[in-house]
A and B are shown apart, each in its own frame.
Chain A
Amino acid sequence: MIKINNLKKAYGKKIVLSIDDLTINALELVGIVGNNGAGKTTMLSLILDLIKPSTGTVQSKDQLVSKTDDWKNYTGSYLNEGFLIPFLTPMEFLEFIGKLHGLNSADIKAFLTENASFYAEDITAKKYIRELSSGNKNKVGILASMLSKPEILILDEPFANLDPSSQSWLKSKLKKMNDDGVTIIISSHDLKHVTDICSRILLIENGIIVKDKNTNAETLDELENYFNVR
Chain B
Amino acid sequence: MIELLIHQWKEKIRSPFWQKSIWLNIVLGILGIYLLLNIVFIAYFADVILKKIFASTDVVETFTRLLFYYFAFDLIFRFLVQQVPTLSIQPYLTLPVKKSKLLHYPLIKSVPDFINLVALLLILPFFVKVICVTETPLFCLAWFITVFSLVATNNFLNFSLKKYFSKRPLFILFLLAIVGLIIYLDKTRVIPFSRYFSRGLFRIAYTQSLVIIPLIIAAISYYLGYSLLKKNAYIEDTQTSQRTNAGSLSFLTRYGEIGNLIRTEIKMILRNKRPKSLLYVSTIFLAYGFIFYQNRNIDNYLILIFVGFFLTSAFGITYGQYSFSWESSYFDSYIANKISPFNYVKSKYLLFAVTSLFCFMITLPYAIISYKIAFINAAMLLYNVGISSIILLLFCTYNTSRIDLGRSQFMNYQGTGFTQFLSVIPVAGFPVIVYLLFKYFDLPQYSIFTLGLLGAVAIVFNKYLLQMVARQFVKRKYKMAVGFRQI
* Chain A residues near B (Cβ < 8 Å): 48-52, 69, 72-73, 77, 79-80, 82-89, 91-92, 96-97, 99-101, 126-128, 131, 148
Contact = CB atoms under 8 A, between A and B. Distances in A.
A73 B264 CA distance: 21
B278 to A, nearest CB: 15
A82 B329 contact: yes
A193 B351 CA distance: 47
Interface of B: 239, 241-244, 246, 253, 257, 260, 264, 267-268, 271-272, 329-333, 335-340, 405, 478, 481-482, 485
Contact of B246 (A52, A72, A80, A89): A89
Residue picked from A88, A91, A148, most chain B C-beta under 10 Å: A88
A207 to B, nearest CB: 18
Contacts of A88: 264, 267
Given A83-B336, A89-B244, A92-B244, 18 more contacts: A51-B481, A51-B482, A52-B478, A72-B336, A83-B330, A83-B332, A85-B268, A85-B333, A86-B330, A87-B268, A87-B405, A89-B246, A99-B260, A100-B257, A101-B338, A126-B243, A128-B242, A131-B239
B332 A50 contact: yes
A100 B268 CA distance: 18
Contact of B339 (A51, A83, A100): A100
A99 B329 CA distance: 21
A69 B474 CA distance: 11
Contacts of B267: 87-88, 92
A87 B239 CA distance: 13
B261 to A, nearest CB: 9
Contacts of B481: 50-51
A79 B335 CA distance: 13
15 contacts: A49-B335, A69-B340, A72-B338, A77-B336, A82-B331, A82-B485, A83-B336, A85-B330, A85-B333, A89-B244, A96-B260, A100-B260, A127-B241, A128-B242, A128-B271
Residue picked from B253, B338, B482, B485, most chain A C-beta under 10 Å: B338
A227 B335 CA distance: 35
Nearest to B341: A69
**Ranked 4 nearest A-B pairs via Cβ:** A82-B332, A52-B478, A72-B338, A87-B271
Contact of A50 (B264, B336, B338, B340): B336
Contact of B337 (A52, A72, A86, A91): A72
Residue picked from B257, B336, B405, B485, most chain A C-beta under 10 Å: B336
Nearest to B242: A128
A77 to B, nearest CB: 6
A141 to B, nearest CB: 9
A91 B246 contact: yes
Contacts of B271: 87, 128
Nearest to B243: A126
Contacts of B332: 50, 79-80, 82-83
A92 B260 CA distance: 11
A131 B267 CA distance: 16
Nearest to B328: A82
Contacts of A96: 260, 264
B13 to A, nearest CB: 23
Contacts of B246: 89, 91-92, 126
Contact of A82 (B264, B272, B333): B333
Contacts of B257: 99-100
A144 B196 CA distance: 65
Contacts of A85: 264, 268, 330, 333
A84 B405 contact: no
Contact of B253 (A91, A99, A126): A99
Contacts of A101: 338
Contacts of B264: 85, 88, 96
A126 B245 CA distance: 9
Residue picked from A50, A72, A79, A92, most chain B C-beta under 10 Å: A50
Given A85-B333, A86-B330, A128 B260 contact: no
B18 to A, nearest CB: 21
Given A82-B332, A83-B330, A100 B337 contact: yes
A148 to B, nearest CB: 8
B388 to A, nearest CB: 28
A67 B271 CA distance: 35
A88 B327 CA distance: 13
A48 B329 contact: no
A80 B332 CA distance: 9
Given A51-B478, A87-B405, A92-B267, A126 B336 contact: no
A224 B336 CA distance: 34
A119 to B, nearest CB: 17
Contact of B244 (A49, A97, A126): A126
A84 B336 contact: no
A2 to B, nearest CB: 15
Nearest to B337: A100
A85 B338 CA distance: 15
A83 B405 contact: no
Nearest to B329: A86
B333 A84 contact: yes
Contact of A48 (B242, B336, B340): B336
Given A88-B267, A128-B271, A131-B239, A83 B333 contact: yes
A84 B260 contact: no
A111 B264 CA distance: 22
A100 B335 contact: no
Contacts of B272: 87
A167 B405 CA distance: 32
A51 to B, nearest CB: 6
Contacts of B335: 49-50
B267 to A, nearest CB: 6
Nearest to A127: B241
Contacts of A72: 336-338
A2 B172 CA distance: 58
Contacts of A82: 329-333, 485
A153 to B, nearest CB: 13
Nearest to B247: A92
A84 B246 CA distance: 17
Contacts of A52: 478
A130 B99 CA distance: 28
